[in-house]
A and B are shown apart, each in its own frame.
Chain A
Amino acid sequence: MNCDESRLLLDAYADGELDLVRHIELEAHLKACPTCLRRSEAIAARRIRIRDSLPRFPASQELRGRIHASLRAEARGAARQGPLPFPVAWRRWNLAGLAASVTVALLAGYSWGSHHARSTSLADEAFAGHMRSLQASHLTDVTSTDRHTVKPWFAGKLDFSPPVVDLADLGFPLVGGRLDQIDGHTAAALVFRRRLHAINVFVWPARGAISPPRSATESGFSAQGWTHGGLNFLAVSEIPAAELEQFAGEFRKRTE
């Protein structure tokens, strides 16, 4: 083995990845060639330094939760309607539109409550929309558990100021907010977590004729609505209706 051949193998040698024959040949060469031996030592030191100094980025708890939720939604969705197409261009999805359709469908379902078939299909649509919004990971535009970060983020983006509360002490931590559309208005969507589930609270000015439903439940999907201080509020989630009611009650208590 000559020095040129040796140079090509030194990294693999340091990694212990050479086959036996070349390993033996290279060691023989290193015994005979001080230049290659020095180079080999430098490469071994470099390898250790790289290995010990490069940071390893672990997955966040938030990502784990999101994945857990999206897998469950996927499993349920697959059982309902077969595999959904899922483009790679996550960010290009019109999620605001999807989320708005969820809520509008709920509102419509509520006002036409007597038309049971209609209400059921709308709720199904709403459920599918909610599911996709979880999968597509555009739950938040601003991600923070600090309401003093989330509230100012909306300033300048909306012509009203949504109240932002923290309910972490009750097991509903704030995770962030995003802009959304509802009933023809730009709305604030505040996002909370309950265990691994998301709760969206849509907030928009109470100018329209249509008020949010006080409560609605369909297919394991529930909503709680109210109006206060000239703003409409509608909380939507797949957590049990009783828990969402508790959440809405505490949210109101802290903002009214």
Chain B
Amino acid sequence: MEASVPTETSTFEQLMLPHLDSAYNLSRWLLRDPHDAEDAVQDACLRAFRAFGGFRGADGRAWFLTIVRNVCYSHLRQGKRESLKVAFEEDLHGSPEDSGEANAQSWLEVKGELLRQALERLPPEYREVIVLHDVEGLSYREIAGVAEIPLGTVMSRLARGRGKLQAELASLSQNTSP
């Protein structure tokens, strides 16, 4: 049966599967559930495979992550918990709310687990830019392509998202320390 697999499948796997960790990581952070995240990545893989004929070979990772992201958002919209109110919030808060007032040292003492919890509390639009930039190492321009937003929005969302992350972290730390 191995011999009957078309070469298209092998080409697809060679080009896309190296990005499977990135895809799963984004999906896991967006959906916050390992099973949903796996389902979404598998669905995204099939969609990517079907659309592979239209892929022109510019940036495989960004192309694949765009599909993963779209599948995740369909999932979020379809069901549950998450309401996409971030655009509204952006109108309300004109500037980053953090202001980096906390000094550098306190940041170095923050526990990773607390940071994870804090990030999971952020709306998905902020979560994704932080994950794509700070975990996956995508540039602002690459994120603009994946999230389909202007470069300036990437910049402001990332700054605001980190500010919100810091605020969530502060409230979590207060709740956990005596």
Interface residues of A (CB under 8 A from B): 4, 7-8, 10-12, 15, 17, 38-47, 49-51, 53-60, 63-64, 66-68, 70-72, 74-76, 79, 83, 86, 88-91, 135, 137, 220, 238
Contact = CB atoms under 8 A, between A and B. Distances in A.
B58 interface: no
A55 B107 contact: no
B86 interface: no
Interface of B is mostly: helix
A8 B95 contact: yes
Range of interface residues on B (Cβ < 8 Å):
35 or more
B140 A75 contact: no
A49 B114 CA distance: 12
Contact of B159 (A12, A56, A71, A75): A12
Contact of B155 (A17, A55, A71): A17
Contact of B140 (A12, A42, A71): A12
A90 B31 CA distance: 15
B92 interface: no
Contact of A75 (B6, B25, B41, B135): B6
Interface of A is mostly: helix
Contacts of A51: 134-135
A79 B7 CA distance: 13
A74 B49 contact: yes
Interface string B123-139: 00000001101111001
A49 B108 contact: yes
Contacts of A41: 104
Contacts of B45: 67, 70-71
